[in-house]
Structure formats: structure tokens, C-alpha cells
Amino acid sequence: MLLKTALLFVATALAEIVGCFLPYLWLRKGGSILLLVPAAASLALFVWLLTLHPVASGRVYAAYGGVYVATALVWLRFVDGVQLSRLDWLGAAVALAGMAIIVSGWTRQ
């Protein structure tokens, strides 16, 4: 269950990041206003993906936050080309550990 949840959260995080990155390209990097169309679709996908979990929304959001942190750092490294520090990686590991702790409690409800 933990792996399935984590993979769903990664897909959710990518949808959210893309949905926010495309307007950034339009507003700050001179991209086309047409970038807002796939951005809106990506954010709609993000919302839909969050609804696929069988637990209370607050628990989903709390656990998702840990995966979002790690995914955003990986995006920063591979899309934006920024070198990550050991503290970045440590922070991601702590955030993922928090997600794992929260998700492990889902089966005990």
C-alpha cells in the first residue's frame, strides 16, 4: 500500500508542479498565454488524483506534502538544473519518512 500510495503521490505532485510551472513560464519567461490551457488541465488532473485515496482528505494532504517536497526538489535538480545540497536531500528524506509514518496509520483506522 505504501508503494502504491507513494507512486500516486508522485503523479499528483508532478501534475501540480507542471500546472504551476507553465503559468510561471508565461508570466516570467515570456512564454505563450496558451500555456495556461495545459496548465489548467494539469491542475484539474492534480485535484482528481487527490480524490483517489480512501482516507480523510486531511490525512491525504498531510502525507502528500512530504512527497511534494521531495518531488519539487527532484524537479529543481533535473528541470531547473540546480545542484542540490546534502541538506536538501536530507530534508527530502525526512519529508518522505513523515509521509510513510502517516500512510502506515491508514490501515489501522
Predicted pLDDT at 36: 98
Which of 7, 109, 106, 12 lies closest to 59, judged by CA? 106
pLDDT tens for each residue of 82-94 = 999 999 999 999 9
Domain that holds residue 10: 2-108
The DSSP secondary-structure symbol of 107 reads G
Query: How many structural domains are present in the chain?
Result: 1
100, 85 contact by CB (below 8 A) = no
**Quick one: average pLDDT of 7-20?**
95
pTM for this model (two decimals): 0.87
